[in-house]
A and B are shown apart, each in its own frame.
Chain A
Amino acid sequence: MLYFDHNATTPVAPEVADAMIAALREVYGNPSSTHSQGQAARQRLEAARRTIAEALGASSAEFVFTSGGTESNNLAILGILRALAGKPRHAITTAIEHPSVLECFRQLEREAFEVSYLPPDRHGMIDPGAVANALQPQTALVSVMHANNEVGTVQRVAAIAALVRECRAAGQEIYLHSDGVQALGKVGLDLDVLGVDLYSVSAHKIYAPKGVGGLYVRKGTPLHGIQLGGRHERERRAGTENVPGAIAFARAVELCSADEPIRCSTLRDRFEERILAIEGVERNGPLAGRLPNTSNLLFHGISGEALLIALDMQGMAVSTGSACSSGSIEPSHVLLAMGRTVDEARSSIRFSFGRYNSAEEIDRLAEVVIACAGRLRKAKAREVQLV
């Protein structure tokens, strides 16, 4: 099986697996326990937190461990607005967020919040000017993802942060959240420079296991925990910490190198050059200003679902849209928001490359994609003839 679906999840790096297995064997204490087993676990947990926080340009006290990206987004959005209870009632987000962000805002709408959903341009870019126009005196939260999971568009978060800070300088209580799940490890990151107040990350997108993630909470940002229980994580996230997961996450962060995005973009560009040369294929998303590993392509006149299945049967894993509850593919809300039609969205496939992909694998993929797309076009022509 050749794997080209790294935006869905990544394989666990051998170094990360080693670190986690060692932790599972050695570090079993509860970090909240008073005895020395507990203290040993606490030390390892805090060391992991320090490693991750430093890599993000944050301080340890600003990083909360969670169970993953979905929990981080829930905690950020619901947590901050609950902390501001009884105060402002307006929030701004975008139409292309991950469901774990969009569903939080839909819940807030049911709780009588007003929410503005900003549409992207045809490349999936949110105009900071549109954020400026949507800001109201009672806006409490702006949430704009750093990089889109489906088309890879990297948003101008720093420009949006500047707008939010201006409001704050004028006395408004307003915060900026960004879902950084896809950006971590793929773009240079310094949260202090980026200027966000809350930032979600997930370990399994950077070659660590599922079940661990984190939320950056800038010092001074109010946040209520959203699950009830013990006073873990500075009362922001009740529940015994996933110590081996945190250790694995930290090891994975250490392994992220500045060269990796460059290597990935070389592979991606090599692939796109081949595929875009065939007729009736175009790119979804921008050429520049995009995640280095992501290529979302529209194959006109072909069912993306059929192409995905055909590729899988040839041992190649790719993705299209997001699976609905039955497991069938719904047209991507991101592509629809970018102005693609339902048919175009259903004809689009996401390829996302990663650390262990080789140039040979990319060439093999291109070869099989071209063959499968050709066969699907022929099949379609034959059926049309029969009707």
Chain B
Amino acid sequence: MSEAAPIAVAMSGGVDSSVVAGLLHRQGNRVVGLTMQLWNQRRLPELAPEEGVTGRCCSLDDVYDARFVASVIGIPYYVVNFEERFEQQVVKPFVEDYLAGRTPIPCTLCNNFIKFDQFLEMADGVGADKIATGHYARLGFDDKTGRYQMRTSVDAGKDQTYFLFGLTQEQLARTLFPLGGMVKTQVRDLAKELRLPVAEKHDSQEICFVPNGDYAAFIDAYFKEQGLDPAATQGEIVDSEGKHLGRHSGAHHFTVGQRRGLRIAAGEPLYVIATEPSSQRVIVGRNEQLMRSSLFAREVNWLSIAPPAEPRRARVKIRNKHVAAEATLQPTSNPIRVEVRFDQPQRAVTPGQAAVFYDGDLVLGGGWIE
């Protein structure tokens, strides 16, 4: 090929990825726009709100928007169908995690197995060396260590590094995050400057395939579609001594630290301490019972540094919106299992969420909370 290899931009139809495509094109790159069709929104029709579905990934409107944006910019554009892979790698593990008493993060699975895996393969196939997405994170290369490094976004409120800890060096080597150095208002201004028809579009929220953030309703509906009985997940609510306090309609309705929806009359506020998949029991207790001074992270991926052999100081986030807490990372005999010892006990350490390690704005790595 005489021309430079194109950059494949993952276009969702939203402002961020539209600006990425427009910007890269304006900078003189050859750009091809691809939208991933991940989930058929006509499945599970009982979840569709009466006023119709808006602002969710893979809705027809978003695909039309992405196609329209690509035509305004003047780049080739295609929709690629990853529905089967998405269901196997993201939706099923999401449901299974909830049933196993964990609170999963489907966006991380989607990044690890779809956006930076199958999408990269698709990009390869069409002859693109690099992919670009609208994620808010910064990438760089450290000459000293020979590693690609990830740093938090300049716009702290939009930072998405918590969801990106699972990426490999090979993936980072081929990825561009053009928005990592900008704040959202700059991105919107750019969208207007580039005359993109989505400049005023609302940000997407929540989990893309779950309408209105109601993941419990999604799991119930998915269960029914698969011919399973959602009632089979009902069980007992007990305190930490095992004393019966009531019944619940499925452990997947609860997450650690939650107070709402327990429907138990008690003298003091009660919170979910844990869910126990084997017995389908939900264990509740007082707020102070939620405090933990350490956790174990499994399947740890070291992003910006080589796996440390010695204990290392870091700031650790245990939820996307968590304020990173000072901690010591303690290696274990298993190289991909790390003990995180917090300086101060942290509230509601939730199995299935990620523990992501930072040193200032540098993303060291992360793993799944056991």
**For residue A269, which residues in chain B have a CB less than 8 angstroms away from its CB?**
none
**For residue A327, which residues in chain B have a CB less than 8 angstroms away from its CB?**
63, 67, 78-79
- A133, CB-defined interface residue at 8 Å: no
- B72, CB-defined interface residue at 8 Å: no
CB atoms of B126 and A326 under 8 A apart: no
CB atoms of A326 and B60 under 8 A apart: yes
- B229, CB-defined interface residue at 8 Å: no
- A310, CB-defined interface residue at 8 Å: yes
CA separation between A329 and B79, bound complex, in Å? 8
CB atoms of B67 and A310 under 8 A apart: no
CA separation between A387 and B168, bound complex, in Å? 10
Which B residues, 114 to 164, have Cβ-Cβ distances below 8 Å to chain A?
117-118, 120-122, 124-127
- B6, CB-defined interface residue at 8 Å: yes
CB atoms of B60 and A387 under 8 A apart: no
> Which label, helix, strand, loop or mixed, suits the secondary structure of the A interface?
helix
CB atoms of B81 and A382 under 8 A apart: no
Provided the pairs A326-B63, A327-B63, A387-B117 are in contact, do residues A309 and B125 lie with their beta carbons within 8 angstroms?
Answer: yes
**For residue B233, which residues in chain A have a CB less than 8 angstroms away from its CB?**
none
CA separation between A79 and B197, bound complex, in Å? 44
- B199, CB-defined interface residue at 8 Å: no
- What is the chain A residue whose CB lies nearest that of B76? A313
**Which of A302, A307, A309, A342 is most buried by chain B, counting CB atoms within 10 A of its CB?**
A309
CB atoms of B126 and A310 under 8 A apart: yes
CA separation between A346 and B171, bound complex, in Å? 25
- A359, CB-defined interface residue at 8 Å: no
CB atoms of B37 and A326 under 8 A apart: yes
CB atoms of B124 and A379 under 8 A apart: yes
CA separation between A307 and B37, bound complex, in Å? 17
Provided the pairs A313-B32, A313-B76, A386-B168 are in contact, do residues A330 and B81 lie with their beta carbons within 8 angstroms?
Answer: yes
**For residue B170, which residues in chain A have a CB less than 8 angstroms away from its CB?**
386
CA separation between A342 and B84, bound complex, in Å? 10
**For residue A330, which residues in chain B have a CB less than 8 angstroms away from its CB?**
81
**For residue A375, which residues in chain B have a CB less than 8 angstroms away from its CB?**
124-125, 127
**For residue B256, which residues in chain A have a CB less than 8 angstroms away from its CB?**
none
CA separation between A375 and B32, bound complex, in Å? 18
How far in angstroms is the closest Cβ of chain A from B190? 26
Partner of A305, one of B6, B76, B81: B81
CB atoms of A328 and B81 under 8 A apart: yes
Partner of A313, one of B60, B121, B126: B126
CA separation between A350 and B122, bound complex, in Å? 19
**For residue A114, which residues in chain B have a CB less than 8 angstroms away from its CB?**
none
Partner of A309, one of B63, B126, B171: B126
**For residue A305, which residues in chain B have a CB less than 8 angstroms away from its CB?**
78, 80-81, 122
How far in angstroms is the closest Cβ of chain A from B333? 25
- A259, CB-defined interface residue at 8 Å: no
- What is the chain A residue whose CB lies nearest that of B78? A309
- What is the chain B residue whose CB lies nearest that of A329? B81
Provided the pairs A305-B81, A386-B170 are in contact, do residues A310 and B127 lie with their beta carbons within 8 angstroms?
Answer: yes
- Hey, what's the 0/1 contact readout for B342-363 against A, CB within 8 Å counting as 1? 0000000000000000000000
Provided the pairs A303-B122, A326-B58, A386-B117 are in contact, do residues A313 and B81 lie with their beta carbons within 8 angstroms?
Answer: no
How far in angstroms is the closest Cβ of chain B from A364? 14
**Interface residues, chain A, with chain B CB atoms under 8 Å away:** 302-303, 305-307, 309-310, 312-313, 325-330, 342, 346, 372, 375-376, 378-380, 382-383, 386-387
**Interface residues, chain B, with chain A CB atoms under 8 Å away:** 6, 32, 34-35, 37, 58, 60, 63, 67, 76, 78-81, 84, 117-118, 120-122, 124-127, 168, 170-171
Sampled A-B contacts (26; CB under 8 Å): A305-B78, A309-B32, A309-B34, A309-B78, A309-B126, A310-B127, A312-B78, A313-B6, A325-B60, A326-B37, A326-B58, A327-B67, A327-B79, A328-B35, A346-B81, A372-B125, A375-B125, A375-B127, A379-B121, A379-B124, A380-B121, A380-B125, A383-B118, A383-B124, A386-B171, A387-B117
